[in-house]
Amino acid sequence: MAFTLPTGIDQRPVAVIGAGTLGRRIAMMFATRGGQVRISDPSPWSREDALAFIGEHLPEVAGQVDGGTPGGVSATDDVAAAVDGCWLVVEAVPERLELKKQVFGQLDRLAPADAVLASNSSSYATGRFVDRVGHPERVVNVHFYMPPQQPAVDLMSSGSTDRAVLDLLLRELPRYGVFPFEAHRESTGFIFNRIWAAIKRESLAVVAEGVSTPQDVDRMWQLNMGTAAGPFRMMAHVGLDVVLDIENHYAAERPGLPTGPRELLQRYVDAGHLGAKTGRGFYDDYTT
């Protein structure tokens, strides 16, 4: 079925469902061209923290975007109010398949008929959670990494996505300082994340086997790759619970993957040491 593309994009808001680490960064990027962005999240703390983060960083980030100017960002627990009139809705909820199915069924009912419904899922193809969606032709994977520092974006069809939706996003996203790359066939982990997953998994295995420590792996990575952070610090900023969810999903699809990396992550998650968001994880201090 053909999809009628949204019109008047510059005058319409963008909604982000989820105010977590990535949700707030996605919202900030869409607020770099003077428009309105609405965040929906049931947690008052998450909403307040997201708005504080965006308020602190948006002026600088907008200045780095060609033609950028800070827009307005609001937050609510009312999904219907958040998506009202939007041309694009980006889902950024935890990596749990049933939750994503519920969210997309809700968004399909509440969002304008011409709104593009995008998932920031880092490991699920949108074809896995459109069974409650009446119009799967408008559903697409738009997977962000960690903008603005990592501005690449994966685009991938659900299998039913209208080609015009992909073309629209390939054209529009660079205006917001993020740069899309299309996965030309369904791929768990998309493009860069498949490569990154192997790096994470082997880093975790080296530590799980007692060969090295997170600190030494990170330092070697910094020296050899010339980056500011190594794999363990990067995982910590995503959240070790999120990393574990992703690894469990990969393992469900590929039963032969080693268990040591997931067992190591599980110990940290069970202890409540989730990385930067709890202040403890592979490191005892994430203030530097």
- Domain of residue 138 covers 9-182
The full DSSP string for 80-97 is: HHHHTT-SEEEE---S-H
Averaged confidence pLDDT in the chain:
94
Whether residue 148 has a cis bond before it, omega within 30° of 0: yes
Residue 107 lies in a domain: yes
202 in the same domain as 82? no
Looking at the domain assignment, is residue 279 inside a domain?
Answer: no
Q: Write the pLDDT tens digit of every residue in 79-116.
A: 999 999 999 999 999 988 899 999 999 999 999 999 99
pLDDT at 287 over 80: no
State residue 1's pLDDT score. Answer: 60
130 and 43 part of one domain:
yes
> What gap in Å lies between CA 92 and CA 89, rounded to an integer?
10
Whether 105 maps to a domain, the answer reads yes
Average pLDDT over residues 112-136: 92
Strand ranges (E), the chain:
14-17, 36-40, 72-76, 88-91, 116-119, 139-146, 150-157, 179-182
Count of domains observed in the chain: 2
Q: Are residues 33 and 88 in the same domain?
A: yes
Indicate if 258 and 117 belong to the same structural domain: no
**CA distance readout (Å), 153 to 64, 78, 83, 142, 243:** 17, 27, 22, 7, 18
The 10s digit of each residue's pLDDT in 66-83 is 999 999 999 999 999 999
Distances (CA, A) of 159 to 36, 51, 119, 120: 30, 35, 14, 16
- End residue of a domain, out of 154, 182, 210: 182
pLDDT per residue as tens digits for the range 160-181: 999 999 999 999 999 999 999 9
Within this chain, do residues 144 and 56 fall inside the same structural domain, yes or no?
yes
Of 85, 88, 91, 55, the residue nearest 71 (C-alpha): 55
pLDDT > 90: percent of the chain:
85
In this predicted structure, what is the pLDDT of residue 160?
Answer: 93
Tell me the pairing of strands 150-157 and 88-91: unpaired
What is the model's pTM?
A: 0.82
Q: Which of 182, 209, 226 is the last residue of a domain?
A: 182
